[in-house]
Chains A and B, each alone.
Chain A
Amino acid sequence: MGTGEGKGMDRRGFLKLAGLGALGAAALPAGWSLVKPGEALAALGGTVAGGVVAGRRWAMVVDLRKECPAGCRDCIAACNTTHNVPTFSDEAEPKRHEIKWIWQAHFYSAFTGIEQTHGREDLEKREVTVLCNHCENPPCVRVCPTKATYRRPDGIVMMDFHRCIGCRFCMAGCPYGSRSFNWRDPAAGLPAKMTNPEYPRRMRGVVEKCTFCSERLDAGKQPACVEVCKEKLLIFGDVANPASPVRELLKEHYTIRRKPNLGTDPQVYYIV
C-alpha cells in the first residue's frame, strides 16, 4: 500500500497535488473574487458625491405640550405616501398585517416604567406619535445576521431591504415595536399607481421601518412627517450641533424618552 506504483495515487502524491491546487486558488486574479462596493465605480474613475456626513447626529423632538388636532393623521399619511407603505384595511383585525413607520400609541404603552397613581391626567389619556427611535445603541443592529440593518455614522438606523432575509430577529430585538414584517405582498396593499414612483416598495418577507427619510435628507429636505405637520409638533435636526433648533429645545425643556432604562439611548425626545 502507498508505494505509488499502483494505479491510484498515493497519499504523498495526493497531498502534493492538493497543496499545488490551494496555491493556485490563492493566486487567482482579483476578477474571480467578489467585487466590493465602490470597486466598479473606482475602476471607472468616477467619484461619488454626497453621502453620510460624519459628525452629524440626526434626532427628533416631539412636542407633547400641545395636543395633535382631533383626528389629524397628516404625518402618518405623508410618511405612508412618501415611502409606499402598504395598508391592509380589508382585515377583520386591522392590526394583523399592519405595516407602520410612524404611528400613534397610547401614552402609557409608549412610555412604560413611569406609571404612577396620581399624575398628569391629560397626558395619560393622550395618544402620542411614535416612530423608530434611531437608537445610539440599537439592539436590532446587534441581532441582524446579514447586516441588512446597520447604524450610519450620522446616527440613522438604516434598512437595506436588498439584504434582509426576513428572519425577524430585529423585530424581537426592538423594544419599541418599530419594525413591521411584510407577511403579505405589499403590492396588494398599495394603489395600482404608486403614490411616489421615485421611492421603491418592498417585497414579501422583508422587514421595514422608518429611515428618518434618509433619501430626503440627502436631497437637503426635512423628513416628510416633519414637513407636513401644521402644528410644528415634530422638530428634526442635528443634536451634535449645539446651535441646532433641536438642541435649543432640549436645553430649554425637560424631555423624556421611550424606555431609556433599557440602555438603547433612543434619539427621539418628547417634551412633556
Chain B
Amino acid sequence: MIYDKGKIFLGLAIFLALVASPFWYNPVFGTGKTAPPEVKLPAKEKGDCVLPKAEMRSSHMQVIYDWRETVVRGGGRSVVLPDHREMKMSLSNTCLGCHDNKKEFCDACHGYLAVKPFCWDCHFNPKEQV
C-alpha cells in the first residue's frame, strides 16, 4: 500500500520527463534546422590539400597536431608529401594561406560541433591581421 500514490507517480513522471528532455526537446520544439553547416572552401582551389578532402575532414586535427609536434620539437619545418609537393608546416601561414576565411571555414564547423580548439589563443589569422 502506497500513501499518496497519485502524487508520487505524477512527480516521478515529471522527473523522468525532465531528465529525458535532451531526447525529446528537439523533435518536439526544435525548428528542424539541424543540417550541418556548409563549409566554404577557398574561392581559388589551389590543387589538393595535404590529404584528400574526406581524410582531411576526418583527421585534420591529427595532421595539425603532428605538424605542431614535428615543428616545435625540432623535427623539421617542412614536409614533402608523396606527390612531391613540399609544404611548410604552419597553421597560420600554410593552412590559413589557402583557407583564408577562418570564420566561414574553421569556425563554421567548430561552432556547430561546440569544439573549442585552443589554437587561436596564440596563433592568428594573418589575413585578419593585415
Which residues on A are within 8 Å of B, measured CB to CB?
35, 37-41, 44-52, 150, 152-153, 156, 158, 160-162, 193-194, 197-198, 200-203, 214-215, 218-219
Nearest residue in A to B68 (C-beta to C-beta)?
A: A162
* B70 CB–A CB distance under 8 Å: yes
Contacts of B69 in A (CB 8 A): 37-38
Q: Taking the nearest CB of chain B, how far is it from the CB of A29, in angstroms?
A: 16
Name 5 interchain pairs, CB-CB below 8 A, sorted by A: A45-B81, A48-B79, A50-B78, A193-B130, A202-B122
Known contacts A197-B92, A200-B122; A41 and B70 CB within 8 A of each other? yes
Q: Is the interface of A mostly helix, strand, loop or mixed?
A: loop
Closest Cβ–Cβ distance, residue A38 to chain B (whole Å) = 6
Contact flag A48-B75 (CB < 8 Å), given A37-B70, A40-B62: yes
Q: Are A48 and B124 touching (Cβ within 8 A)?
A: no
Q: How many interface residues does chain B have, given as a range?
A: 20 to 34
Which residues of chain A are near B65, meaning CB under 8 Å? 35, 40
In the assembled complex, the Cα of A51 lies from the Cα of B76 at a distance in Å of: 3
CB-contacts of B42-76 with A (<8 A): 50-51, 59, 62-63, 65-70, 72-76
9 tightest Cβ-Cβ pairs between the two chains A and B: A51-B76, A37-B69, A48-B76, A197-B126, A200-B122, A203-B121, A52-B74, A45-B82, A40-B66
A-B contacts counted at CB < 8 A amount to 98
A48 touches B92 (CB 8 A): no
Known pairs A38-B66, A193-B130; A49 contacts B79 (CB<8 A): yes
CA distance A201 to B13 in the complex (A): 53
- B77 interfacial contact with A, CB 8 Å: yes
Min CB distance A36 to B, Å, is 8
With a 10 A CB-CB cut-off, give which of A46, A47, A52, A194 has the most chain B CB atoms.
Answer: A46
Q: How far is the CB of B126 from chain A (nearest CB, A)?
A: 4
Q: With contacts A48-B80, A194-B124 known, what are 18 further pairs, Cβ within 8 A? A: A37-B66, A38-B75, A40-B63, A41-B63, A41-B67, A41-B79, A47-B79, A49-B76, A49-B77, A50-B77, A51-B74, A156-B74, A158-B72, A161-B122, A194-B129, A197-B124, A215-B77, A219-B77
Instruction: List chain A residues, Cβ under 8 A from B126.
Output: 197-198
